[in-house]
Structure formats: C-alpha cells, structure tokens
Amino acid sequence: MYDVEEVEARVRNLPHKALAQFRDWFHEFENEPWDQQIKADFNAGKFKELIATAREEFAQGKAREI
C-alpha cells in the first residue's frame, strides 16, 4: 500500500500528458459518489417539488432559460 507522500511524489513526476490523463480520471473518480447520490435522490423523487417550483416560476416569467 502506498502512503500519501509516495503517491504525491509519483504524481509530481508524471509527464504532462500523463498528468492530464490522471487529473481527468481523478476528477471522475472523486465525483462518482456525488453523481450516484444525485441519481438516487432524483429516482426517489426528492427533486419533484423543486422542479415543480422552477417550472411554475418559469411559466410566470420569474425565470429565464440559460
């Protein structure tokens, strides 16, 4: 098992292209739990009220498309 200092040293020594690939992978890896939680909350209907309010405000001209 690597310790944090060893991982940091290896990341610092990556060539530019490999560092970019690692950065992209790590971004996906780091965000996966959040993405899964949002998906689960959406499927459980936790956003229904928020979506309905947003649609109502849009219909009333209180919001605009971006």
Express each pLDDT in 15-31 by its tens digit. Answer: 999 999 999 999 999 99
What is the chain's alpha carbon radius of gyration, rounded to the nearest angstrom? 20
Is 34 a domain residue? yes
For residue 32, tell me if it sits in a domain: yes
Query: Is residue 9 included in any domain, yes or no?
Result: no
pLDDT exceeds 80 at position 1: no
pTM for the complete prediction? 0.62
Tell me: pLDDT of 64 over 90.
no
Does 62 reside within a domain?
yes
> What total number of domains does the chain contain?
1
Which range marks the domain in which residue 31 is found? 16-66
Amino acid at 60: Q
Q: Establish if 10 belongs to a structural domain.
A: no
The sign of the dihedral angle between the CA atoms of 11, 16, 18, 21 is: positive
What percent of the chain is modeled with pLDDT above 70?
A: 97
In a domain, 8, yes or no: no
